[in-house]
Chains A and B, each alone.
Chain A
Amino acid sequence: MKVLVPVKRVVDYNVKVRVKSDGTGVDIANVKMSMNPFDEIAIEEAVRLKEKGVVTEIVAVSCGVAQAQDILRTAMAIGADRAILVETPADLDLQPLAVAKLLKALVDKEQPQLVILGKQAIDDDCNQTGQMLAALAGMPQGTFASKVEVAGDKVNVTREVDGGLETVSLSLPAVVTTDLRLNEPRYVTLPNIMKARKKPLETVKPEDLGVNVTPRIKTLKVSEPPKRGAGVKVPDVATLVNKLKTEAKVI
């Protein structure tokens, strides 16, 4: 079966972003960009399903600026067979609902049996796109997956929920979103990076897919979070206990 894996180009998870002084957003000029960590887990899972013989083709998709090609090449170096970039203008605030609609259009065209996404992107921290795609495509969803098992025309997904784990059985085609513990993504090797350069990468525009990507949410302002007051270092446990009792009054 065919698997579609949407991936997002985001500020690298190790970078501490800075809020722009004019309050219009965060400064991402000249900042290291990478594939969203949850999306790496999604690609890895698709590749593992292919290695098990369950999956025959993996299509990686990204929606965003032209530079998102880089992470599609990374996805192909991990093991995706081909890639589609839905290229949007650099000044567009592309939001989850619009991405879900773009992906729905690609699902209609590609007819995958499974779509695997990351559970959230580490920039907007929305945790919406997978669920929205499932809704638009009329598919069941297995969010926050820590285990995925395809069994005939169903997929069993073990989900990380508050208080433990829960397993659901979904009819294919279905949408799965990955949690951290689903797998450990492999490193890309130089030969595979070279091979990925030769794999096909198709570019389309939102208009080609007939999707309106106008943002529905306006960002009025972006500000620094409130700073915590400077703390103190205490020399020993006795002082710590004393301060917690008398100064902070929390115990």
Chain B
Amino acid sequence: MTALVIAEHDNASIKGATLNTVTAAAALGGDVHVLVAGHNAGAAAAAAAQIAGVAKVLHADSSALAESLAENVAAQVIALASGYSHLVFPATAAGKNVAPRVAALLDVAQVSDITKVVSADTFERPIYAGNAIATVQATDAVKVITVRTTGFDPAAAGGAAPVETIAAAADVGKSSFVGREVTKSDRPELTAAKIIVSGGRALGSSEKFNEVLTPLADKLGAALGASRAAVDAGYAPNDWQVGQTGKIVAPQLYIAAGISGAIQHLAGMKDSKVIVAINKDPEAPIFSVADYGLEADLFTAVPELVNAL
């Protein structure tokens, strides 16, 4: 029984989500191999080899794999699938894009967003925006799984796995990469941050959002997040959205400022270790999950908080 982890990388380095995925794969009980499919991704493959618990790294190099197009990455995974009992992806935008395509091509079901490995075929996963936890058993011969990264600790460094170069699958030729617009940020990545400062509709404008929350985030070395309302209103970029349909986060400290706490938002942050809510509405549902609630106007409370730190 061997699990293949499909690494998320940018050709130069391995993304953090891969480390949590390796931990989940190791919990399945067999060997763990890692696939690095990319273009000129030797550095990423070398980095993958250093993850503790990895027995082998498979490195496929082709210009067709450069931008991680689902059609081509899926073809690459299919070419390898026969040797594996489990195909394990991080439940990130990239993993969610490719994994179901692989599962369908193998005619097997996929288990999405697992938060716990019960046994090699049984997993826990949240459903209904995290309002229920389902324990499910996959009955297919090959298990295709995506891993909720906040459910597992990142694997440590210190491995020394061999890197094996493998043949790259041919370009499927049905899609091509056009371009990318990356949100520039020198803050910690939202899904990996230890502290997150998140703002909601109550901030009122993009200017206020930055003016009020940036100093607090700077002070704490925190990532900035946002509720859907704040993103839809244009106060914050899309990829800052925390919730059922945005990022799922579980930092040490989550500060929710001016966020009411709709079910869909709670689904993305309620596994945080400590939750602080700052809201002037005493009835806001966010107070029901907050460890510390401050009933105050955020426009005075947040600057006060910055001063007090």
Q: Are A224 and B178 in contact (CB under 8 A)?
A: no
Interface mask (A234-246 → B, CB under 8 Å = 1, otherwise 0): 1011101101100
Contacts known (A26-B132, A96-B110, A217-B137); A164 close to B178, Cβ less than 8 A: no
Residues of chain B within 8 A of A14, CB atoms compared: 263
Closest to B125 in A: A125
Residues of chain B within 8 A of A58, CB atoms compared: none
Q: Are B195 and A162 in contact (CB under 8 A)?
A: no
B residues apposed to A, CB below 8 Å: 67, 69-71, 74, 92-94, 96-105, 107-113, 122, 126-140, 172, 174-183, 191, 195, 220, 228, 231-232, 237-239, 244-245, 247, 252-253, 263-264, 270, 273-276, 287, 289-296, 301, 304-305, 308-309
- Docked complex Cα distance between A79 and B74 (Å): 35
Q: Are B101 and A132 in contact (CB under 8 A)?
A: yes
A residues apposed to B, CB below 8 Å: 11, 13-14, 16-17, 19, 26, 38, 95-97, 100, 119-120, 122-136, 139-144, 146, 156, 159-171, 174, 179-181, 215-225, 228-229, 231-234, 236-238, 240-241, 243-244, 248, 250-251
Beyond A128-B100, A160-B93, A228-B270, 12 additional pairs, beta carbon < 8 A: A96-B109, A97-B103, A127-B112, A128-B112, A132-B104, A141-B97, A162-B92, A169-B177, A224-B132, A231-B292, A244-B274, A244-B292
| 17 residue pairs bridging A and B, Cβ less than 8 Å apart | A95-B109, A125-B113, A128-B99, A131-B70, A160-B93, A165-B238, A166-B177, A169-B177, A171-B174, A180-B232, A216-B138, A217-B137, A218-B137, A219-B136, A220-B122, A224-B132, A231-B289
Q: Are B273 and A228 in contact (CB under 8 A)?
A: no
- A-B pair count, CB < 8 Å, reads 252
Q: Which of B104, B113, B131 contacts A97 (CB 8 A)?
A: B104
Q: Are B103 and A13 in contact (CB under 8 A)?
A: no
In the assembled complex, the CB of B149 is this many whole angstroms from the nearest CB of chain A, namely: 11
Residues of chain A within 8 A of B253, CB atoms compared: 244, 248, 250-251
Residues of chain B within 8 A of A13, CB atoms compared: 263-264
- Docked complex Cα distance between A228 and B130 (Å): 13
- Docked complex Cα distance between A128 and B92 (Å): 13
- Docked complex Cα distance between A131 and B244 (Å): 19
- Docked complex Cα distance between A154 and B220 (Å): 47
Closest to A241 in B: B308
Q: Are A168 and B109 in contact (CB under 8 A)?
A: no
